[in-house]
Structures are given as C-alpha cells and as structure tokens.
Amino acid sequence: NHYLTEMSKIALDHGATIDKYVGDAILMFFGDPETRGVKEDALACVEMALAMQKRMSELAEIWRDIGIET
C-alpha cells in the first residue's frame, strides 16, 4: 500500500517506533526503546505529523491526476 509505505518511512525517519498497522492507521510511539528526551521526542512527533500532512497533500495531488479520489 503506497500510503502506508510513505507514512511509515516518514515515521521511521523521525525516530518513531511502529507497533502495528490497523486498517489504514499506523500505531506508533516515541521514546521507547530509545529516547532523546521528553522534549526532543515530542518535537520529533510534531515534526513527523507536519511531514505526514505535507506528504498526504502531495499524494492526493498525484492520485487525483491518475484518477484516484481520496
């Protein structure tokens, strides 16, 4: 699944630990097994969410161009 692949890559790039996939959702967390500190983990999580939003906008445009409605 292109969506899950893209979102997983962003999560891992920001230091998230992926626990499991549930439908089209990804359950992930920060700070365990390794932490960079509470503030740093929280900041990484917010940066990840912003990167995911940006990538979703890009993917929606690509999918729209090939005829897939989101």
Alpha-carbon distance of 65 to 7, in angstroms, equals 20
Token code pair at residue 59:
């993917």
Q: Which tens digits make up the pLDDT trace of 12-45? A: 999 999 999 999 999 999 998 888 999 999 999 9
Alpha-carbon distance of 66 to 64, in angstroms, equals 5
Q: Which single residue is written with the structure tokens 């390794």? A: 34
pLDDT of the residue at 30 = 96
Q: Which tens digits make up the pLDDT trace of 51-66? A: 999 999 999 998 887 8
Global confidence as pTM: 0.86
Q: Contact, 15 vs 41, CB < 8 A?
A: yes
Q: What is the CA angle 6-21-14, rounded to 5?
A: 45
- Is residue 70 pLDDT above 70, yes or no? no
